[in-house]
Amino acid sequence: MTGRIEGHGGDLALAALRAYGVSEMFTLSGGHVFPLYDAAHRTNFPIYDVRHEQSAVFAAEAVAKLQRRPGLAVLTAGPGVTNGISGLTSAFFNASPVLVLGGRAPAFRWGAGSLQEIDHVPLVAPVTKHAGTVWSTDDVPGAVAAALTEALSPHRGPVFLDLPLEVIFSTGEVDAPTGPAIAPVEPDPDEVANAARLIAGAERPVLIAGSDVYVGDAVDALRAAAEALRVPVFTNGMGRGALPPGHPLGFAKARRMALGGADVVVVVGTPLDFRLGFGDFGDATVVHVVDAPTQRAGHVEPAVSPAGDLRLILTAFAEHTGDRADHESWITELRTAEEAARAKDAAAMAAESDPIKPARVYGELRRVLAPDAVTIGDGGDFVSYAGRYLEPAQPGTWLDPGPYGCLGTGMGYAMGARVSYPDRQICVLMGDGAAGFSLMDVESLVRQNLPVVIVVGNNGIWGLEKHPMRGMYGYDVAADLQPELRYDQVVTALGGAGETVAKAADLGPALERAFEAGVPYLVNVLTDPTDAYPRSSNLA
């Protein structure tokens, strides 16, 4: 312990937050949480405020995802907390260490009908690793520290605490909290050795690396394992970019062929969910490497599923000394397919079409994005194309909503990204439908001097729903938006700037102006409403 601290509940909470490396809060004002503002204000702890609580939680999640440290959202009692629940749920699915501190109606007259009085804990318990109420001011730092330890322990995830009015406004004096001490989860060495043997002995192995590889700081270990065992690697989520573009073992386009032909599929740091065909890889032997035993799949039985610190497991793979089969012809075969698909993509990305096809938007964007740019996807088909055509050059630079698939992350993620990286390009790729969820938070970005670039793929429809519904029923309802709506003028009205682009040739200059603007800038690209992202499943 480093001495005693005293103050109101806000001061005591902030002391613990600082000890855990939290360095800003995202919030929307409410009297129930004033002491947290007071503590922050008096000690120059940055406060960023938003126009909808979901943006506060998404901003905190972006900080957590990008910086691999806790992100904090402070939400007022009742509707403040309930408005944050989709954000918390996304963080839960994404294993993001987000702490939501909620205000709470006074405990001493609970049940008498105070303003915004509701017990949040049962509402958020299913989507958090820990949810609880702090009943006494002296308990605040300990409760915050324990919650953050839980959030940071693999498998990571969000936590929630609320503080009754009299707890947060009263004063206390307690021992100063110390920082986190998170012990790595030790994997079972036999399972690790077994997995390494299977991979090394395979003829056609494939490795898929997901977000936890970045989250668990295991990117270098992944690369070492891939290179030592000569395994082709595909990535998803925050794992994208783990092997830089051009790496001889890095693949993106030949995935179908790889998964169709593999005899061993190794999935590291991502669940065997719908994105991976629920872990059904035909006759291939499946190795599922997870960062905690809770992450082992319950619906399929992999041949082996080592659970523990991914850095330790992947390093052990890299150091495997046993027999190994030759994978070189398999790698060559995949490389041929990869190059063919890449040539097709290059043609699509350069295509001159009227109206503009989404592929061309990404062709132009690739020219102006720096290798460390953070790109954020919030939308349907337009974002599926982003996933296909944008190739992150570094891990931890691509933010998608993750498997919960919640629309509306856009401006919140953008705020968290801008706060994390004041000097990088931050680019949000938005469907026009998705834009409706968070565009008002451009006002928050403008007011707090947080410039970002927003590229809207404006097809005038909820494309990812409209096309499948037509395919299924022959008609569609509830899937149209106003065509050619001027989302750029919305941003201009909110104090930013923007323009509408209808011709492919105008895209490049517009994007350049956007990145030079120094204010939130929306490039409203009118895209082809007849274009549908090719999907194997029609259900979004």
Ligand X SMILES: Cc1ncc(C[n+]2csc(CCOP(=O)(O)OP(=O)(O)O)c2C)c(N)n1
Q: Which is nearer to ligand X, 461 or 510 (CB)?
A: 461
Residue with tokens 């150091």: 319
CB 413 within 8 A of CB 61: yes
Report d(CA 490, CA 171) in Å as an integer: 45
Shortest Cβ 62–ligand X spacing (Å): 17
Residue 142 binding target from ligand X, Mg ion, none, CB below 5 to 8 Å by type: none
CB 215 within 8 A of CB 68: yes
Cα-based distances in Å from 415 to 85, 219, 242, 374, 428: 18, 25, 24, 11, 10
Report d(CA 458, CA 500) in Å as an integer: 10
- Which residues lie closer than 8 Å to 31 by C-beta, 6 or more apart? 76, 103
Q: Helices 358-368 and 507-516 sit at what angle, rounded to 10 degrees?
A: 50
Residue 405 binding target from Mg ion, ligand X, none, CB below 5 to 8 Å by type: ligand X
Shortest Cβ 383–ligand X spacing (Å): 7
Residue 381 binding target from ligand X, Mg ion, none, CB below 5 to 8 Å by type: ligand X
Q: Which residues bind Mg ion (CB under 5 A)?
A: 431-433, 459, 463
Shortest Cβ 535–Mg ion spacing (Å): 15
Shortest Cβ 384–ligand X spacing (Å): 8
- Which residues lie closer than 8 Å to 124 by C-beta, 6 or more apart? 81, 85, 88, 100, 131, 160
Residue 406 binding target from Mg ion, ligand X, none, CB below 5 to 8 Å by type: ligand X
Residue 271 binding target from Mg ion, ligand X, none, CB below 5 to 8 Å by type: none
Residue 465 binding target from ligand X, Mg ion, none, CB below 5 to 8 Å by type: ligand X
Q: Which of 21, 33, 95 is nearest to 404 (CA)?
A: 95
Residue with tokens 């080592």: 306
Q: Which residues bind ligand X (CB under 6 A)?
A: 379-382, 405-408, 431-434, 457, 459, 461-465, 540
Shortest Cβ 540–Mg ion spacing (Å): 12
Shortest Cβ 489–Mg ion spacing (Å): 18
Q: Which is nearer to ligand X, 112 or 477 (CB)?
A: 477
Shortest Cβ 92–ligand X spacing (Å): 15
Shortest Cβ 503–ligand X spacing (Å): 19
SS3 146: helix
Q: Which is nearer to ligand X, 103 or 463 (CB)?
A: 463
Following DSSP, what letter does each residue of 101-138 receive, concatenated? EEEE--STTTTS--TT----HHHHGGGSSEEEE--SGG
Tell me the two tokens of residue 217: 């700081």
Q: Which is nearer to Mg ion, 99 or 481 (CB)?
A: 481
Per the DSSP assignment, residues forming a β-bridge with 429 are 377, 455
Shortest Cβ 94–ligand X spacing (Å): 15
Q: Which is nearer to ligand X, 20 or 385 (CB)?
A: 385
Report d(CA 48, CA 449) in Å as an integer: 11
Residue 289 binding target from ligand X, Mg ion, none, CB below 5 to 8 Å by type: none
Q: Which is nearer to Mg ion, 383 or 414 (CB)?
A: 383
Q: Which is nearer to ligand X, 26 or 382 (CB)?
A: 382
CB 211 within 8 A of CB 238: yes
Residue 207 binding target from Mg ion, ligand X, none, CB below 5 to 8 Å by type: none
Residue nearest to ligand X (CB): 431
Residue 464 binding target from Mg ion, ligand X, none, CB below 5 to 8 Å by type: ligand X
Residue 164 binding target from ligand X, Mg ion, none, CB below 5 to 8 Å by type: none
Q: Which is nearer to ligand X, 272 or 430 (CB)?
A: 430
Q: Which is nearer to Mg ion, 17 or 522 (CB)?
A: 522
Residue nearest to Mg ion (CB): 431
Q: Which is nearer to Mg ion, 228 or 428 (CB)?
A: 428
Q: What are phi and psi of 335, to 5 degrees?
A: -65, -40
CB 207 within 8 A of CB 214: no
- Which residues lie closer than 8 Å to 329 by C-beta, 6 or more apart? none
Q: Which is nearer to ligand X, 49 or 465 (CB)?
A: 465
Tell me the two tokens of residue 470: 């037509």
Shortest Cβ 313–ligand X spacing (Å): 33
Residue 306 binding target from Mg ion, ligand X, none, CB below 5 to 8 Å by type: none
Q: What's the half-sphere exposure (Cβ side, CA atoms, 13 Å) at 519?
A: 14
Shortest Cβ 299–ligand X spacing (Å): 22
71-75/398-399 β-pairing: unpaired
